[in-house]
Amino acid sequence: MDAAMRGQIIRRARRRRGLSQAALAGLVGRSESWLSQVERGKRDIDAHSVLTRMAHVLRLDITDLTGTEAPDSEVRYTAAREIERAMMRYTSLETIVEESRGEHPIDVARLRAEADHTYAAYQATRYNEVGRWLPLVIWGNVGRYLLAESNATMRLGWA
């Protein structure tokens, strides 16, 4: 959207709300002269924070002022569900860790390396990678222990 169109939208919305240029300019932290230039298309809004405040004060959706579609608010980080599932798969981590000291110990060094790798990816803002790794880190060693226990139980005919 060009500056002239954005200015027209702002002017119409300001008038609908019954605000003077001075009042709106004050509410968004700018001068009346600046707002006049924006409304006439002589100047564009150069800061996203001002654009956001303008939309809020005028009770507009930000997309009304940008001309672009907002990301779908229903789109969710798909890995979040997998992380939640991994966390909910076992009832008591303490029990598993305590019991794992016997025949099927949890490989703490491996768990530490996996956790360190995942944390480094998180710190580097590689969130998709974190989403793939975190369920494996959470469930990985604990899952290996439970699977080994389950197989042992089945071999003994207790299942």
Q: pLDDT confidence of 159, banded at 50, 70, 90?
A: very low
- What value does the mean pLDDT of the chain take? 78
Check whether 150 has a pLDDT greater than 70.
no
Q: Mind listing the pLDDT tens digit for each residue in 121-131?
A: 888 888 888 88
Rank 47-51, 108-112, 139-143 by mean pLDDT and report only the highest: 47-51
Burial class (CB in 10 A: 0-12, 13-18, 19+), 53: middle
The closest of 118, 153, 112 to 134, measured between CA atoms, is 118
Q: What's the pTM?
A: 0.45
Instruction: Answer yes or no: CATH 3.50.50.60 is held by domain 3-66.
Output: no
pLDDT value, residue 71: 55
> In the chain, what are the domain boundaries?
3-66, 79-156
